[in-house]
């Protein structure tokens, strides 16, 4: 079959576009592969858990090292996953056994996957150990699943449900301050939930939950954000929530735009 040069060129462009989109999509959603420019925060080993993470030393800390969160077999796929249950945080005592990365971050791109095995399972992903992206089965409100906590809810139907893996892909720009240390721009975030964009260039207004929630939670009711980096924190509330495939890439986002 003979085809014209124009048709061949158009076909070649289509194929190139297809694989470009496919490659891009592979970097979001469940099972996304870590790019070379990113670093592992948890890849399924106890060694990495102990090397990269520690308990957050907040005012309510009850747990003591070594980290008591357990590794267990992935209930769906091969590999080991991290279980948030820690008896120090029983009965929803958040801040008592939360874990945080030893490394601190400003601007970044994050990928993290979670599975909730039981109804009402509760945890949370804290950006800079300040701003919670909620992980909560059964709640569709601004305090519920995939919400920028207490500020903006997410479409609940995107949640894959109990006993299935879900993924957050997050691009975050830290708050900006002037030379005198005064806040001039609030933190900014774009989030994909299971490959679907749910929050685009949303400014985060404050730290919610008081001093037991994270950095600056006790400053002016959470509005007194300071210019210091913070780690990625995962919350333990006495529930079983599983995490895996956690990686992060340091960025330097010059403009007020986190869209990706």
What residues does each domain of the chain span?
35-251
Check whether 94 has a pLDDT greater than 50.
yes
CA distances from 65 to 45, 88, 92, 192, 202 (A): 17, 12, 20, 33, 36
CA gap 120, 60 in Å, rounded: 23
CA gap 141, 155 in Å, rounded: 9
Q: Provide the β-strand partners of residue 134.
A: 124
Give the pLDDT score at 48: 98
Q: Per-residue pLDDT averaged across 102-125, rounded?
A: 98
Nearest one of 112, 53, 119, 113 to 86, comparing CA atoms: 53
Cβ atoms of 37 and 249 closer than 8 Å: yes
Nearest one of 122, 148, 147 to 136, comparing CA atoms: 122
Least confident segment among 7-21, 187-201, 210-224: 7-21
Quick check: helix, strand or coil at residue 96? Answer: coil
CATH fit for domain 35-251, picks 3.40.50.11540, 3.30.1330.40, 2.60.120.560, 3.40.640.10: 2.60.120.560
Residues 6+ apart with CB under 8 A from 241: 83, 84, 114, 115, 116, 117, 121, 122, 123, 135
CA gap 251, 246 in Å, rounded: 16
Cβ atoms of 233 and 100 closer than 8 Å: yes
Does the model's pTM come out above 0.85? yes
Check whether 196 has a pLDDT greater than 80.
yes
Residues 6+ apart with CB under 8 A from 78: none
Give the pLDDT score at 27: 85
DSSP 256: S
DSSP 230: B
Quick check: helix, strand or coil at residue 11? Answer: helix
């Amino acid at each position: 079959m003979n085809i014209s040069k124009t048709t061949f060129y158009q076909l070649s462009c289509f194929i190139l576009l297809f694989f470009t989109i496919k490659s891009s999509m592979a970097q979001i959603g469940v099972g996304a592969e870590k790019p070379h420019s990113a670093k592992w925060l948890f890849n399924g080993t106890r060694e990495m858990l102990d090397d990269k993470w520690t308990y957050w030393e907040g005012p309510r800390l009850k747990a003591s090292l070594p980290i008591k969160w357990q590794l267990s077999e992935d209930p769906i796929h091969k590999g080991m996953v991290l279980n948030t249950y820690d008896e120090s945080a029983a009965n929803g005592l958040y801040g008592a056994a939360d874990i945080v990365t030893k490394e601190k971050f400003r601007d970044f791109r994050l990928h993290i996957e979670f599975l909730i095995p039981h109804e009402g399972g509760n945890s949370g992903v804290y950006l800079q150990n300040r701003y919670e992206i909620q992980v909560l089965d059964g709640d569709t409100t601004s305090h519920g699943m995939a919400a920028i906590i207490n500020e903006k809810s997410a479409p609940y139907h995107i949640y894959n449900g109990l006993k299935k893996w879900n993924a957050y892909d997050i691009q975050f720009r830290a708050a900006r301050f002037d030379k005198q240390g005064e806040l001039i721009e609030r933190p900014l975030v774009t989030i994909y939930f299971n490959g679907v964009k749910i929050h685009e260039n949303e400014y985060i207004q404050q730290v919610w939950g008081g001093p037991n929630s994270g950095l600056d939670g006790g400053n002016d009711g959470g509005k007194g954000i300071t210019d210091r980096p913070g780690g990625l924190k995962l919350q333990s509330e006495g529930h079983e929530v599983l995490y895996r495939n956690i990686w992060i890439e340091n960025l330097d986002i010059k403009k007020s735009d986190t869209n990706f």
